Amino acid sequence: MRPIAIGSDEAGFQLKEELRRHLEASGYEVTDYGCHSTDPVDYPDVAIEVATAVAAGRHDRAVLICGTGIGMAIAANKVPGVYAANAHDPYSAARARMSNNAQVLSLGARVVGTELAKTLVDVWLKAEFAGGGSARKVAKIREAEGRLETGGPAAASDAAADKERAR
């Protein structure tokens, strides 16, 4: 496995440090994209840098941490080919990978404690994409992503209008 990427904003800094140490102690190589202190950082900058590295193939998996995990997931999901999921429980962390093929796990340092975060990361890293009925759904997401990427927001509006007219 390629190195695991990890990144956070200042709200997630302490949890990122704990998770980095946990991953390294578990035998994983980790690439830390910051932040490197509790000084304010805009989470989209970190999320997009990490997600771009995942999309480029430098990492198979990445963990992003902010206050809730929501903003990191939203920002990472803007990078074509990247699927980021926010999880607060082990079942959702496993399903993020097994059903949705998420390469990025986002966590909220203000809503998930350190020990639970370690469990979520461990469960997610052990999970693999199951394919099956989920493969068709993930393929639809990938197809829509490609269509919307080339057509932009207008294509999305046109596609939604076409679908509504078809009803």
Could you tell me if 29 and 107 lie in one domain?
yes
> Is the pTM of the predicted complex or chain greater than 0.85?
yes
Q: Structural domain of residue 159, as residue ranges?
A: 131-167
Q: Is the pLDDT of residue 153 over 70?
A: no
Residue of 30, 53, 66, 105 marked active site = 66
Q: How distant, in Å, are the alpha carbons of 20, 105, 120, 162 from that of 113?
A: 15, 15, 10, 45
pLDDT (tens digit, 9 = 90+) per residue, 18-57? Answer: 999 999 999 999 999 999 999 999 999 999 999 999 999 9
Question: Is 66 noted as a catalytic residue in this protein?
Answer: yes
Could you tell me if 115 and 146 lie in one domain?
no
Q: How many domains does the chain have?
A: 2
> Would you state the structure tokens that stand for residue 104, as one six-digit string?
């990025």
